[in-house]
A and B are shown apart, each in its own frame.
Chain A
Amino acid sequence: MSTKRHEAVGLTDQQVLDMYYYMLLARKLDERQWLLNRAGKVPFVISCQGQEAAQVGAAFAFEIGRDYFCPYYRDLGIVLVAGQSARDTMLTAFAKAEDPNSGGRQMPGHFGGKKFNILTGSSPVTTQVPHAVGIALAGRMTGKNPVVYTSFGEGSSNQGDFHEGANFAGVHKLPVIFFCENNKYAISVPLSKQLACESVADRAIGYGFKGVSIDGNDPIEVYRVVKEAVERGRNGEGPTLIEAVMYRLVPHSSDDDDRVYRSREEVEEAKKKDPIIQFANYLKSVGLMDDASEQEVLQKVQAEVDEATDYAENAPYPTPESTLDHVYGS
């Protein structure tokens, strides 16, 4: 039996099994949305496939209910750990009134919800980065001192808002975790055309804080590094930039065709490193899972996804007139 790497980083057996459950739930919810899209039932999907390990590993490092999340559009794994349900995902996919992210107003992937401490997000990339810094600043003023997670892709790390936000957080030593999910492509444009530096993590140097590049396919390693960063943040030692390197296993969105910009061989090669398969193998190697219990989890997740799909499909739409609501408060 292999050594339990997770114990060395402070994760219990139950926690790593929970991590696997969340990773699988995110994957199966994602796959279901693609099926529904291809069947003409939902207009749009934007995927987390290939990024679940990084997201779930990172989310486990935060204190749910105290810390805040300013996620980007692929972060299904993050919002599930933060408290969103399979139903919530499907209500969003079907754009139903009960969708907790936006009441059916936004495309899937535009997460939000006060009860989950997830700030509402938009489509222009990286605008959430300064928001995370502002939440951390407010947290310092009020003495609540949450640590704030914000994520973005490697392409988005070129945006001014990333740099302006990182600089502000660096100057004020604010507890913000800048989590770059480097999946190698900004839609069709590869990393080599996005950055001239070695890694996104290098960008932290310019802002006076630590930058780390890690294997985003390994949830235990992601947890370890994010946890350390969260602790530093809580101790007043400021922000950290973490680049989790992974691979986007599917096209950018349901409207993209990735065959024009990357070879099938490359994608197949990446699928061999699918984080969900790798993590299942790890759990088996340390005796926490066998084929039977793997099937059990899968069936549980499938049942959840089925139930959520049925529920959301049958849920009411927002009324047309509610288009006029929530422009201003009272």
Chain B
Amino acid sequence: MAVMTFIEAVTLAMREEMRRDPSVFLLGEDVGIRGGVFRASMGLIEEFGEERVIDTPLAESAIAGVAIGAAAVGMRPIAEMQFADFIMPAVNQIVSEAAKMRYRSAGDWNCPITIRAPFGGGVHGALYHSQSVEAMFNSTPGLKIVAPSTPYDAKGLLKAAIRDNDPVLFFEHKRCYRLIKGEVPDTDYVLPIGKADVKREGTDITVISYGLTLHFALQAAEKLAAEGISAHVLDLRTLYPLDKDAIIQAASKTGKVLVIHEDNKEGGIGGEVAAIVAENCLFDLDAPVRRLCGPDVPAMPYSPPMEKFFMITPEKVLEAMRELALF
């Protein structure tokens, strides 16, 4: 089994799907000859040609809207938003159109589109190249939101997203792209959208996270194990619709829950996770549900100390987990 980076797993998933199914194609800004500004589509135009790897005009609503039209008549487009921050002009297309086509036509039409977008900070990207935008979409039934944290999950979930008969927003944490490596089979496997994954079994506290911060939780769990604290770590993987059963099970197991995400706290995914725990696990809880999240400021500043202040760091995660264990 090959060890590869997160972004290599993304590229592999796209390549395999494009080889498997001629209706799969990629469109976005700089995805062709440049191979994507992060190089996620490196080598694809060489293999599949500019008919299937389309460098579009710089206009996000058209990228989404054209993909939606093509998807409606049977294609399987992968639309790349260069940064999640730039998805905003396409929100009308995603929320008013892609998410509602099946429902508004009483099942006559559907929209099998995958929209990939790099999100998250810690790369000196400042306000408009660092945002987490998932909470803007997570009350939109009809959409699915996926945010994998490992290369293995990225490949299996991206393939699942492409094959899904409904629109999927696929968020890739850009710090994970080259930082996170892992074993990825070269076999054709898909992972189920809508299922969370226990990344570490534990008994004292439960940490629920996704994306980059999931890794910080795993690192902290390792350190805390030496202190005799056993952490259970659940990777949400799908942010909408949430895997409620897995959340309830993970919360009930330890009775102490910490939700971590880089997106700001108020109105974030963590609030919904906490509500699910509150509705279902009251008598299993031994501590108030806690959230460790980005601050409620408009976006991440550029200056290094400010960026560091905003970011969830391994140290902040370790401290929050230890504190909860000692509650």
Nearest CB on B from A325, distance (A)? 7
Find out whether the CB atom of B97 lies under 8 angstroms from the CB atom of A131: yes
Q: How many A-B residue pairs have CB under 8 A?
A: 145
The reply to whether B75 and A102 form a contact with Cβ atoms under 8 Å apart is no
Is A27 in the interface zone, CB < 8 Å from B? no
The one of B66, B72, B73, B106 in contact with A102, judged by C-beta atoms closer than 8 angstroms, is B106
Shortest distance from the beta carbon of B194 to any chain A beta carbon, whole Å: 9
Stretch from A41-49, A117-125, A177-185, A227-235 forming part of the interface with B: A117-125
Of B56, B71, B92, B104, the residue contacting A168 (CB under 8 A) is B56
Within 8 A of A (CB), among B49-80: 51-52, 56-57, 59, 61-62, 64-75, 77
Q: Is the beta-carbon distance between B74 and A122 smaller than 8 angstroms?
A: no
Q: Which of B56, B70, B165 contacts A135 (CB 8 A)?
A: B70
B104–A120 touching, CB < 8 Å: yes
- The answer to whether the Cβ of A83 comes within 8 Å of any Cβ in the partner chain is no
Q: By the criterion CB–CB under 8 Å, are B68 and A130 in contact?
A: yes
| Contact call B73/A68, Cβ cutoff below 8 A | yes
Tell me the chain B residues, 143-191 only, with Cβ under 8 Å from chain A.
144, 165-166
B70 with A137: CB separation less than 8 A: yes
- A contact residues around B142 at 8 Å (CB): 327-328
A135 and B57 form a contact (CB under 8 A): no
Residue B108 at the A interface, CB < 8 A? Answer: yes
Asked if A292 is at the interface of the complex by the 8 Å CB criterion, the answer is: no
Closest B residue to A100 using CB positions: B108
Contact yes or no, A164 B59, CB < 8 A: yes
Nearest-Cβ distance from residue B244 to partner chain A, whole angstroms: 15
Enumerate chain B residues within 8 angstroms of A124, measured Cβ to Cβ: 92, 96
Q: Nearest chain A CB to B144's CB is how many angstroms away?
A: 8
The one of A102, A164, A171, A325 in contact with B104, judged by C-beta atoms closer than 8 angstroms, is A102
**Closest CB-CB distance, A70 to chain B, in whole Å?**
8
**CB pair B57 A168 closer than 8 Å:** yes
**Chain B contacts of A100 at CB under 8 A?**
108
In contact, B61 and A105 (Cβ under 8 angstroms): no
Asked if B131 lies at the interface with its beta carbon under 8 angstroms from chain A, I say no
Residues from chain B with a CB closer than 8 A to the CB of A165 are 62, 65-66
Which residues of chain B are near A40, meaning CB under 8 Å?
Answer: none
Interface membership of A79, Cβ < 8 A: no
| Complex Cα gap A171–B59 (Å) | 13
Quick check: is A196 within 8 A (CB to CB) of the other chain?
Answer: no
Interface residue A114 (Cβ < 8 Å from any Cβ of B) = yes
B-side contacts of A203, CB under 8 Å = none
Interchain CB contact under 8 A, A105 and B67: no
B112 (CB) vs chain A CBs: closest residue = A329
Task: Across the interface, name the chain A residue whose C-beta is closest to B241.
Answer: A328
Task: Please determine whether B97 and A134 come into contact, CB atoms closer than 8 angstroms.
Answer: no
Q: Closest A-chain residue to B51, C-beta based?
A: A141
Binary per-residue interface labels of chain B (109-148) against chain A in the complex, 1 for a CB within 8 Å, 0 otherwise: 1100000000000000000000000000000011010000
Q: List the B residue with the shortest CB-CB distance to A164.
A: B62
> CB distance A119 to B106 under 8 Å?
no
What's the interface size class on A, roughly?
35 or more
Known: A102-B104, A120-B109, A164-B57. A137 touches B96 (CB 8 A): no
For B101, what are the chain A residues with a Cβ–Cβ distance below 8 Å?
120
Q: Is A248 an interface residue (CB 8 A)?
A: no
Q: Chain B: which residue is nearest A104 at the CB level?
A: B106
B93 at the interface (CB under 8 A from A): yes
Considering the complex, which residues of chain A in the window 100-147 have a beta carbon less than 8 Å from any beta carbon of chain B? 100-106, 110, 112-114, 119-120, 122-124, 127, 129-139, 141-142
Complex CA gap A133/B62 in Å reads: 9
Identity of the chain A residue whose Cβ is nearest the Cβ of B55 in the assembled complex:
A171
In the complex the two chains form, what is the Cα distance from A134 to B65 in whole Å? 7
B69 & A137 in contact (Cβ 8 Å cutoff): yes
B109/A114 in contact, CB under 8 A: yes
- With both chains docked as a complex, state the minimum distance between the C-beta of A80 and any C-beta of chain B, in angstroms: 18
Once the chains bind, are B71 and A134 in contact (CB under 8 Å)?
Answer: yes
Interface 1/0 per residue, A146-182 and B, CB below 8 Å:
0000000000000011001101100100000000000
Residues of the B chain whose Cβ atoms lie less than 8 Å from the Cβ of A137: 66, 69-70
Contact check, B105 vs A168: say whether CB atoms are below 8 A apart.
no
A259 contacts B by Cβ under 8 Å: no
Q: Is B309 an interface residue (CB 8 A)?
A: no
Q: Tell me whether A105 and B72 are in contact (CB under 8 A).
A: no
Q: Is the CB of A120 within 8 A of B65?
A: no
Nearest Cβ distance between residue B321 and chain A, in whole angstroms?
A: 35
Give Cα A103–Cα B109 distance, bound, in whole angstroms. 12
Contact, CB under 8 Å: B92 / A102: no
- Bound together, the chains give a CA A182 to CA B105 distance in angstroms of 28
Q: How far is the CA of A137 from the CA of B74 in the complex (A)?
A: 12
Q: A164-B57, A165-B62, A165-B66 are in contact. Are A138 and B73 (CB under 8 A)?
A: yes
Closest 7 CB pairs of A and B: A134-B69, A130-B65, A103-B106, A131-B69, A164-B62, A134-B70, A138-B70
15 new A-B contacts at CB < 8 Å, known A164-B65, A329-B110: A105-B106, A112-B108, A113-B108, A114-B108, A120-B108, A131-B69, A133-B69, A135-B72, A137-B66, A138-B75, A161-B93, A326-B107, A327-B141, A328-B102, A329-B165
Question: A residues near B, CB below 8 A?
Answer: 68, 70, 100-106, 110, 112-114, 119-120, 122-124, 127, 129-139, 141-142, 160-161, 164-165, 167-168, 171, 325-330
Which residues in B have some Cβ–Cβ distance to A below 8 Å? 23, 25, 51-52, 56-57, 59, 61-62, 64-75, 77, 89, 92-93, 96-97, 100-110, 141-142, 144, 165-166
Q: Show 25 residue pairs from A and B whose CB-CB distance is below 8 angstroms, ordered by the A residue.
A: A68-B73, A120-B72, A120-B108, A122-B100, A123-B96, A127-B97, A130-B61, A130-B66, A131-B66, A134-B69, A134-B71, A135-B73, A138-B74, A161-B61, A164-B61, A165-B65, A165-B66, A167-B62, A325-B107, A327-B103, A327-B142, A328-B102, A328-B166, A329-B102, A329-B165
